[in-house]
Structure 1
Amino acid sequence: MTVFIESECEFSFDFDYEKVANDVINTAMDLLKFPFEAEVSITITDNDGIQSINKEFRNIDAPTDVLSFPMIEYEAPGVFDAIESNDDLFNPETGEVILGDIVLSVPRIISQAEEYGHSVLREYAFLIAHSMLHLFGFDHMTEAEASIMEEKQREILGLLNISRD
């Protein structure tokens, strides 16, 4: 698995953010039994950076906490059958499936951790877990979809012993 992390702003976390990202991504892949090696890109930015991306791609002129840009359209969430037959989904240099991009806002990670009464580590890991589920085709547009995503997010963080404390 390859995780590319690009920082567009200055920040300092009291944990190894690269290791946590790798751990969350690996755990999500294991939980969902993703059958391939994969590549994920993460951009860490500020509110202005994520607002610009949000406006460009979603026509929403406001900052948000995380954006997910899946590279794969799934028949159903977490169903990976069609990937193998589509060479365009694989990086020709590495053979890894290109899952997509995650964009995170550092100020929102920090403020939401404070707002929800948990650690910055937990919020960062949660947002990556949430985004990974989007990269696997999950969504939260209906109550049923949201319930499934929430359960899988809890499972991912639980497997990593990352709690709300």
Structure 2
Amino acid sequence: MTILVENEVNRELDFDYEEVIEAVINKTLETENCPYETEVNVLLTGNGEIHTANKEFRGIDRPTDVLSFPMVDYDYPSDFSYVEANPESYINPETDELLLGDIMISVDKVYEQADEYGHSKKREFAFLIAHSMLHLLGYDHIDEAERKVMEVKQEAILDALGITRNGG
């Protein structure tokens, strides 16, 4: 697996964020039975930069906590039939890894939301990675039923890693 992490902010996180990224990505892929080695890019940025991206890509003129840019087409979440049918479109020929997509996280929002929800920055950060990974695997939360499915999966991933609201 290849995880490329770029940190363009000067704000310190009080935990090993690269370790958390790897653990959450691995647990999500395991939970979703991904049959491929994968490549994921993670950009840590601030509110200004994510605001610009949110406006450009989603037409929403405000900062957000996380943006996901999936590279795979899905009929339904974690259905890799498009990859199997068209590996040349989804597999990096140099590494034989599935190009899953990109994650953009506002570290400013990690701080804000950890305070707002009363849990650690590590827990908030891990939650955003799990949330975004589910998007990269084809999940969405456009309606209430989809939102609940994602919510349950996110909590299960974090619980399996021992990253709970009160414990980590």
TM category (shorter chain) comes to over 0.9
Match of 1:142 in 2: 143
In structure 1, the residue corresponding to 2:63 is in which secondary structure? coil
1:4 aligns with 2:41: no
What SS is found at the alignment partner of 1:82?
helix
SS of residue matched to 2:41: strand
Unaligned runs of at least 5 residues, structure 2 = none
Contact 2:123 2:165 in 1 (8 A): yes
* Deviation readout 1:68-126 (Å, 9 max, x if unpaired): 00011101112122212211101111010000000000110011000000000000000
Q: Calculate the TM-score normalised by the size of structure 1.
A: 0.98
**Structure 1: any 5+ residue segments left out of the alignment?**
none
- What is the distance in 2 between the residues matched to 1:142 and 1:58? 17
* Structure 1 segments of 4+ aligned residues over 3 angstroms from their partners: none
Aligned to 1:67: 67
Instruction: Output the aligned Cα RMSD.
Output: 0.7
| Aligned twin of 1:116 | 117
Aligned to 2:158: 157
Q: Distance in 2 between matches of 1:5 and 1:155?
A: 24
Give me the TM-score of the superposition, normalised by structure 2: 0.96
Among the aligned pairs, what percent are the same residue?
53
Aligned length, in residue pairs = 165
Q: Residue 130 of structure 2 aligns with which residue?
A: 129
